[in-house]
Structure 1
Amino acid sequence: MLGVRDDFRRRLLAIAALFCVLGFQYATWAARLPALKSDLDLSKAEVGLLLMAAGVGAAISFPLVAVLTRRLGSRRLAVVSGLFLGAVLLGLAAAPNYPLALAVMCLDGLAVGCLNVAMNAQGAALEARHDRTAMAKLHAVFSAGSLFAALLASGMNALTDSVAAHFGAAAAIIALLVVATRSHLLPDEAPAEQATGDPAGLQTAEDPAAADQATDEAATDQVDQPRRRLSLPATATLWMGGAMVFGTVTEGAMNDWSALYLEEVAGASAKVAPLGIAVVSVMMVAARLFADGWRARWGDGRVVRVGSVLAGTGLALALLAGGV
């Protein structure tokens, strides 16, 4: 990135590295679930709880990430959480028992939530600063990171059965990406209250009477505002929520369970099992690169409907046909 003179492209590459880190880290441990299941002697139900622990950590991160973003800024939060995700891989490889593995996965979800918010904040700030679109490409890089992780897992499986060696190499790659790009991320702007020392925007040192009047008016406005009543979400919102739930379940199933399915049900070798994630990631990269054009040509609703039918048909055909 040092040779890239264009500020937009340099910043874009740095933020893209964060998206790559998140996809890479996620697919790294997901591709080795069969080995983790064997090493910790887990049942399928316990594997499900292990995956749920990451979701619990992500849910916990939501109230914390706002506080952390205000205190650290999106740039520093992205760097810290990215490096922490590399450390999580080392902790997962070293976990001697199931309870500790659950704790590590909960921390993984926490760090994923922090990095997810921080890197998207960086992407949104980049678009606003340069008035250019970038988010679709950034999300494509996430899938490319997953593809890279799946290919690395397949290669490492061909060389060694050691999860620790694989996760150690992956953690080193994550650290290199984060350290190499941290100085090129967008700096955070100081909040208005820090810049002015007046969070309410009422400071008028030269006219105390005006300040008192402004304070009274602000208080009156708050009192006069009608209370909002709780209401049921609109039908369109419910449909969108359902689509997002099923889309998330499907994507999670392909990323989290495909390696186990290919190895234990379809009879794939340890080298081939991670390629399930690779195939999904390749298609997700392609879809995300062309998605904006499809949306402009056919509209969001048609893209959602056609994509959902295509995904359901593909899953049904794969299950009915069987085999690797």
Structure 2
Amino acid sequence: MSPVSDGVSGTSGAFRRHQWAIAALFCSLGFQYATWASRIPALKDDLGLTAAEVGFLLMAAGIGAVISFPLVNPLMTRFGSRRLALLSALGLTLLLFALAAAPNYPVALLVLGVDGVLVGCLNVAMNAQGAALEARFERTTMARLHATFSGGSLLAALLASRMNAMTSSVSAHFAVAAVLLLLFCVYARTGLLTDDASEQQTSEQTSQKKEEENEKAKEKKKQWSMPSGVVLWMCVAMAFGTVTEGAMNDWSTLYMQEVADASHQLAPLGIAVISAMMVLARIFADGWRGRFGDGRVVVAGSALATAGLAFALLGGGVVTALTGFACVGLGIAAVTPCVYVAAARQGSDALALVAAMGTTGLLAGPPLIGFVANATSLVWGLGVVAGAAAVVCLCGTRIRWRDVPEESSVTSPVEAVPGSGTG
């Protein structure tokens, strides 16, 4: 009998406790990322940067993420996912102070480079925790955990809007944000899975849930020889999907302020709208997958994101921008969870490669927008983002999806929200 099939309330309570703790990690990463992204206009003014220099600043975070890839496995072995996640989250908290105090452009580049390394470590560690939770309790929860990442971004955007209304001090804003991040860390520490459980899940994830451990090595070899083309399409979809997410988070505030002529108080609402729609979409994503299949969800969603952003860029104005941004958040939200699930079916190596492409797209994509914006305009820069969403749509037609999920693995949206039942 599965750990949850007996319906024992104690087991459900344990699942919720672990789920909330892991959700705190996802939320903290989204919160930290959107916190400094929401102050890009202020950092740009304080350091006297051009759009191209802002692009290089964001590229430093992407380079840091790339550097983290060969480091993650040894660090996971040495510390385990639990300790690595907590150490990375604490480091990201301290980096907010370093960024606020950066006296010049080179120091800011260094700070964001280190930020990228820690983001890469936390991303792998917290997803390992989430995957361990699914394997241990045989309940789906990954999409909802990703929803809390978007929820953290939304919270950061709302805080930024409020802090902008109260003070222009980046240091004051980041100090308040750091206190909240520390609270997330303290709470996560109380309920994360032990390192043994996480390591067990990492080994189990190379095969179907009910496959024997001794079949996994064989399966892994087959999957790298047979579906390499499929894995490539997944990598492209993940990279361009996270380019869309990252670019909208990093450049929406600047677009609202410089192109849509929004006030300083309204400018961060671009991130808020995107994050709010992503939260809602990810809460209901598993239901959509069960009804329509992963492929249709990805293709329709990325097409909506493309059309919505094109509408925002062509229409102009605050209301049009927020409407288009809402379409982007709603459409692109389910792409990452769906591709993660598809990659997991191809084996652990495929999953690691797809995850690496996702982190690269999230952090290295925004600088590309900066370079395009510097050479042309921010409107054309975000036009590239619309093109990235269109590429995801194309990839969605090429990936071999599991269109009819197993009935037992799909939970209702209400039950799946962390703390309200299952994941």
Task: Specify the TM-score bucket, using the shorter chain as the normaliser.
Answer: 0.7 to 0.9
- For 2:26, give the aligned amino acid: F
Conserved? CA contact 2:257–2:267, under 8 Å: yes
Partner residue of 2:100? 93
Q: Which has the greater radius of gyration?
A: 1
Determine whether 1:69 maps to 2:76.
yes
Q: Quick one: distance in 2 between partners of 1:232 and 1:132? A: 27
Q: 2:268 aligns with which of 256, 274, 291?
A: 274
CA shift at 1:237, angstroms? 4.0
Q: Quick one: distance in 2 between partners of 1:239 and 1:67? A: 28
Quickly say closer, same or farther: Cα 1:240–1:128, change in 2 above 3 A: closer
Determine whether 1:315 maps to 2:309.
yes
Partner residue of 2:287? 293
- For 2:259, give the aligned amino acid: V
Q: Quick one: distance in 2 between partners of 1:303 and 1:229? A: 26
CA shift at 1:304, angstroms? 1.4
> Residue by residue, what CA displacement relative to the aligned partner does 1:262-319 show, whole Å, maximum 9, x if unpaired?
1111111111111100000011111111111111111121111111110010001000
Determine whether 1:34 maps to 2:37.
no
Partner residue of 2:218? none
- For 2:175, give the aligned amino acid: G
TM-score (norm. length: structure 2): 0.65
Q: Quick one: distance in 1 between partners of 2:247 and 2:286? A: 25
Partner residue of 1:160? 167
Runs of 4 or more above 3 Å deviation: 228-233, 236-242
Q: 2:65 aligns with which of 58, 63, 70?
A: 58
Partner residue of 1:259? 253
Name the SS for the 2:196 alignment partner: coil
Q: 1:10 aligns with which of 17, 27, 37?
A: 17
Partner residue of 1:302? 296
CA shift at 1:248, angstroms? 2.0
Q: Quick one: distance in 1 between partners of 2:189 and 2:92? A: 15
Quickly say closer, same or farther: Cα 1:180–1:231, change in 2 above 3 A: closer
Q: Quick one: distance in 1 between partners of 2:245 and 2:196? A: 35
Identity of aligned residues (%): 66
CA shift at 1:238, angstroms? 4.2
The unaligned stretches of length 5 or more in structure 1 are 193-225
Partner residue of 1:20? 27
Name the SS for the 1:6 alignment partner: helix
Aligned residues: CA RMSD? 2.1
Q: Quick one: distance in 1 between partners of 2:309 and 2:161? A: 23
Structure 1 segment 178-197 matched on structure 2, within 5 A: 178-189=185-196
Structure 1 segment 241-260 matched on structure 2, within 5 A: 241-260=235-254
- For 1:139, give the aligned amino acid: H
Q: Quick one: distance in 1 between partners of 2:127 and 2:226? A: 30
Conserved? CA contact 2:61–2:112, under 8 Å: yes
- For 1:23, give the aligned amino acid: G
> Residue by residue, what CA displacement relative to the aligned partner does 1:31-54 show, whole Å, maximum 9, x if unpaired?
110000000000000000111110
The unaligned stretches of length 5 or more in structure 2 are 1-10, 201-220, 319-423
- For 1:154, give the aligned amino acid: S
How many correspondences in the alignment? 286
CA shift at 1:240, angstroms? 3.3
- For 2:79, give the aligned amino acid: L
> Residue by residue, what CA displacement relative to the aligned partner does 1:133-171 show, whole Å, maximum 9, x if unpaired?
111111101000000000000000000000000001101
CA shift at 1:232, angstroms? 9.6
- More deviation, 171-180/83-92: 171-180
